């Protein structure tokens, strides 16, 4: 996850949303949430969110918070590895028929949205229609959802409604749709145009947490700052780009912690600490936006943050090989080390007039650029060893990853120089190259203002100097950069993607031509790649599908769409008063699974 369409920030007041106070004006019967208001978890995000309406925006930081507010039909078992889908608000896994084209979900009764003025003092129960409405919002052309591709073309009768809305400017949310039926209050029936072998994963996609139509109607363009869900938490305070405070949703029904150990010592300890507790225990989550790693590290050391991943720069002073140094062990700090199910890459905009296009000379330029980026330097200097080289776009731990695959683009400045010479990128008297037509050649690699990105820029500058290519590094904040990337306005940018679900399609869709503006931020377009992608989606899981993923990876490399760099290692450091912590490969908002001991 990470790409998203930006909304108009003028719709958000600087400090808003004391939902507990607003809701208190209405008589609402409390639910069963056992959370203790005195138990507080304090965490930090490394970049700002962009609001909490995942129809309009999708990035790791908005997702992290939204996951605690909204609930999907399906979710994941907290401890199971590999990641395992389990019922969320659904009573059980769906009934599947018609050769995998019809899914029937039965919604649990007695689930309620958090109290909100939009409901005019009435307890609002979750129904099947709320999911149908949410799916329609993603596909409403007016919303220009960056995640619409997850559902586009799949539901019987939906394409006709979308086409009509595109023509009239109005999406008819009340129009009957053959493939999206709610035969009763708690039953949702979805009929697909064709079998989709990843559809259960789609139903576990975090963006598909149920929204209430009344709330969206009440807040309109302010919906991103007014999330109203059925999850364990609700938004109490929101200072954009600074602070987020969540409090326990009094209507949340709660559950009993009863996850099964995978057999590891870590899991066994979690079970001893947590088994049988009424959840959630944490009553308040305080989230601060701290973009600079050193500042986050200082906050953790000062006990202002309860758990965080170890900043790369601090690793030498904290780790003795792969273990914590004794001084940190003596503080009761524990370490959870995981390889993220994700990849880091630099895209090269296929629509950019300077480096884009499919001609041989443009591809030669992109290939030469890719060949001067030293991934070993990134791992040692920017990541300080906390990363491994990524060979293919599907990372380890995700279905479709081939451990024997090796990327065909390697670090080779000598060959890059020969390639540029061969295709007419001549050096001037100052040693820098021009385009074949003699016009200036200057790359623009967009970045953010933090220490790690400064190291990335230095690595790029060293490599590009070896082949005589000028480079500028425009600096802006993450959210604005992502908006520009979504609109194909950035020439090059460092991106990353972590799994929304553990199947290769979730990564390969980032390069699918029709997904430009919906994940494909490099605006890559290749008929050959697209044909392979379409074929892969229609192929059952197994060796044939995995081979198609390999073929797609080779096509992407042949076109030099990305400079694929690393998969990151995350060393999560946890203070001793936090109980129940285990980093999940898909779930992010883990607060509902934790407890806080008094300290």
Partners of 433 in the beta sheet? 427
Distance, in Å, from the CA atom of 2 to the CA atom of 166, rounded to the nearest integer, reads 27
Same domain as 542, residue 448: yes
Residue 44 falls inside a structural domain: no
Mean pLDDT of 391-400: 95
Q: Cβ atoms within 10 A of the Cβ of 369, count?
A: 25
DSSP 8-state symbol, 281: -
Q: Cβ atoms within 10 A of the Cβ of 294, count?
A: 13
Give the pair of three-digit tokens for residue 192. 């697909």
- The predicted pLDDT at position 60 comes to 86
- Work out the pLDDT band at 35, boundaries 50, 70, 90: very high
Nearest alpha-carbon partner for 52 in 114, 132, 108: 114
CB 28 within 8 A of CB 123: yes
Residue 535 falls inside a structural domain: yes
Q: What is the pLDDT of residues 150-190, one digit of tens each?
A: 999 999 999 999 999 999 999 999 999 999 999 999 999 99
- The predicted pLDDT at position 11 comes to 32
Q: What is the pLDDT of residues 74-128, one digit of tens each?
A: 999 999 998 999 999 999 999 999 999 999 999 999 999 999 999 999 999 999 9
**Is 121 buried (19+), middle (13-18) or exposed (0-12) by CB count in 10 A?**
exposed
CB 307 within 8 A of CB 581: yes
Task: Read off the CATH number of the domain in which 477 is found.
Answer: 3.10.105.10
Same domain as 416, residue 525: yes
Phi, psi of 535, deg, nearest 5? -65, -40
pLDDT at 224 over 50: yes
Same domain as 143, residue 288: no
Residue 21 falls inside a structural domain: no
- Work out the pLDDT band at 22, boundaries 50, 70, 90: very low
- Work out the pLDDT band at 19, boundaries 50, 70, 90: very low
DSSP E strands, 65-139 = 74-76, 85-87, 95-97, 102-106
Residue 435 falls inside a structural domain: yes
In this structure, is the dihedral angle defined by the CA atoms of residues 319, 324, 328 and 330, taken in order, positive or negative? negative
Same domain as 367, residue 324: no
pLDDT at 28 over 50: no
Spatial neighbors of 10 by CB under 8 A, at least 6 apart, are none
Spatial neighbors of 189 by CB under 8 A, at least 6 apart, are 102, 103, 104, 105, 180, 181, 182, 183
Residue 13 falls inside a structural domain: no
- Work out the pLDDT band at 24, boundaries 50, 70, 90: very low
Same domain as 290, residue 428: no
- The predicted pLDDT at position 586 comes to 93
Provide DSSP, 171-210: --TTS--TTEEEEETTEEEEEBSS--TTHHHHHT-GGG--
Same domain as 187, residue 78: yes
Mean pLDDT of 557-563: 97
- Work out the pLDDT band at 519, boundaries 50, 70, 90: confident
CB 44 within 8 A of CB 184: no
Residue 504 CA to its chain's centroid (Å): 15
Same domain as 472, residue 459: yes
pLDDT above 70: percentage of residues in the chain: 95
Distance, in Å, from the CA atom of 81 to the CA atom of 397, rounded to the nearest integer, reads 9
- The predicted pLDDT at position 46 comes to 87
pLDDT at 268 over 70: yes
Q: What is the pLDDT of residues 427-443, one digit of tens each?
A: 999 999 999 999 999 99
Distance, in Å, from the CA atom of 114 to the CA atom of 23, rounded to the nearest integer, reads 9
Same domain as 550, residue 451: yes
- The predicted pLDDT at position 451 comes to 84
Give the pair of three-digit tokens for residue 216. 């969206």
In this structure, is the dihedral angle defined by the CA atoms of residues 18, 49, 1 and 382, taken in order, positive or negative? negative
Residue 14 falls inside a structural domain: no
Mean pLDDT of 409-419: 98
- The predicted pLDDT at position 31 comes to 59
Phi, psi of 567, deg, nearest 5? -115, 130
140 lies in which domain range? 72-110+127-209
Average pLDDT of the chain to the nearest whole number: 92
Distance, in Å, from the CA atom of 487 to the CA atom of 477, rounded to the nearest integer, reads 16
Residue 134 falls inside a structural domain: yes
Structural domain count, the chain: 3
Mean pLDDT of 137-148: 94
Same domain as 289, residue 374: no
Same domain as 377, residue 289: no
- The predicted pLDDT at position 293 comes to 86
Which residue's structure tokens are 């081939």? 402
Partners of 454 in the beta sheet? none
- pTM, full prediction: 0.83
- The predicted pLDDT at position 10 comes to 29
Task: Read off the CATH number of the domain in which 147 is found.
Answer: 3.90.76.10
pLDDT at 9 over 50: no
Same domain as 323, residue 398: no
Sheet holding 180-184, edge to edge: 95-97, 102-106, 187-191, 180-184
pLDDT above 90: percentage of residues in the chain: 84
Q: Cβ atoms within 10 A of the Cβ of 7, count?
A: 22
Q: Cβ atoms within 10 A of the Cβ of 381, count?
A: 16
Phi, psi of 192, deg, nearest 5? -100, 150
Partners of 44 in the beta sheet? 288
Q: What is the pLDDT of residues 574-592, one digit of tens each?
A: 999 999 999 999 999 999 9
Same domain as 578, residue 444: no
Residue 29 CA to its chain's centroid (Å): 35
Higher pLDDT, 58 or 135: 135
Residue 2 falls inside a structural domain: no
CB 397 within 8 A of CB 339: yes
């Amino acid at each position: 996850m990470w790409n998203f369409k930006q909304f108009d920030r003028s719709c958000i007041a600087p400090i808003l949303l004391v939902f507990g106070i607003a809701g208190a004006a209405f008589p609402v019967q409390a639910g069963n949430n056992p959370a203790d208001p005195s138990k507080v978890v304090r965490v930090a995000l490394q970049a700002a969110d962009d609001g909490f309406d995942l129809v309009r925006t999708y990035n790791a930081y908005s997702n992290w918070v939204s996951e605690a507010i909204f609930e999907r039909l399906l979710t994941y078992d907290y401890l199971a590895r590999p990641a395992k889908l389990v019922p969320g608000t659904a009573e059980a896994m769906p009934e599947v028929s018609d050769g995998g084209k019809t899914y029937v979900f039965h919604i649990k009764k007695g689930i309620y949205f958090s109290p909100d003025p939009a409901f005019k003092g009435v307890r609002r129960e979750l129904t099947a229609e709320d999911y149908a409405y949410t799916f329609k919002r993603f596909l409403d052309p007016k919303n220009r959802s960056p995640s619409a591709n997850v559902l586009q073309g799949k539901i019987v009768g939906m394409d006709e409604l979308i086409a009509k809305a595109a023509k009239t400017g109005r999406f008819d949310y009340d129009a009957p749709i053959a493939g999206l039926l709610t035969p009763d209050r708690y039953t949702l029936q979805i009929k697909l145009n064709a079998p989709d072998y990843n559809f259960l994963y789609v139903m576990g996609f975090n963006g598909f947490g149920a929204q209430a139509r009344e709330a969206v109607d009440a807040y309109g363009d302010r919906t991103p700052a007014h999330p109203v869900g059925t999850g364990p938490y609700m938004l109490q305070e929101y200072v954009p780009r600074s602070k987020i405070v969540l409090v326990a949703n009094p209507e949340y029904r709660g559950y009993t912690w009863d996850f099964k150990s995978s057999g590891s010592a870590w899991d066994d300890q979690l079970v001893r600490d947590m088994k049988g507790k009424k959840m959630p225990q944490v009553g308040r989550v305080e989230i601060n936006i701290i973009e600079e790693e050193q500042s986050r590290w200082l906050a953790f050391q000062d006990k202002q943050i309860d758990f965080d991943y170890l900043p790369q720069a601090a690793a030498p002073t904290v780790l003795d090989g792969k273990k914590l140094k004794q001084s940190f062990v003596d503080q009761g700090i524990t370490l959870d080390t995981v390889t993220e199910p994700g990849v880091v890459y630099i895209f090269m905009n296929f629509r950019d007039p300077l480096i884009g296009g499919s001609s041989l000379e443009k591809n030669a330029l992109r290939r030469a650029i890719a060949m001067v980026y030293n991934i070993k330097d990134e791992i040692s200097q920017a990541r300080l060893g906390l990363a491994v080289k990524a060979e293919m776009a599907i990372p380890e731990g995700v279905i479709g990853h081939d451990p024997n695959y090796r990327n065909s683009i390697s670090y080779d400045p000598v060959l890059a120089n020969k390639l540029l010479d061969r295709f007419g990128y001549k050096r001037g008297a100052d040693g820098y190259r021009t385009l074949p037509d003699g016009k200036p050649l200057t790359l623009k690699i967009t970045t953010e203002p933090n220490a790690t990105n400064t190291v990335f820029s230095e690595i790029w500058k060293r490599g590009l100097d070896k082949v005589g290519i000028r480079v500028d590094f425009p600096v802006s904040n993450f959210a604005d950069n992502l908006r520009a990337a979504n609109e194909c306005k950035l020439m090059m940018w460092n991106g990353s993607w972590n799994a929304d679900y553990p199947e290769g399609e979730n990564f390969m869709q980032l390069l699918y031509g029709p997904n430009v503006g919906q994940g494909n931020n490099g605006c890559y377009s290749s008929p050959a790649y697209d044909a392979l992608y379409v074929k892969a989606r229609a192929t059952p899981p197994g060796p044939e599908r995995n081979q198609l993923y390999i073929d797609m990876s080779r096509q992407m490399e042949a076109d030099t769409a990305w400079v694929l760099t690393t998969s990151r290692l995350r060393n999560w450091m946890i203070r001793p008063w936090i109980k129940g912590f285990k980093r999940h490969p898909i779930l992010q908002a883990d607060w509902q699974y934790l407890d806080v001991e008094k300290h």
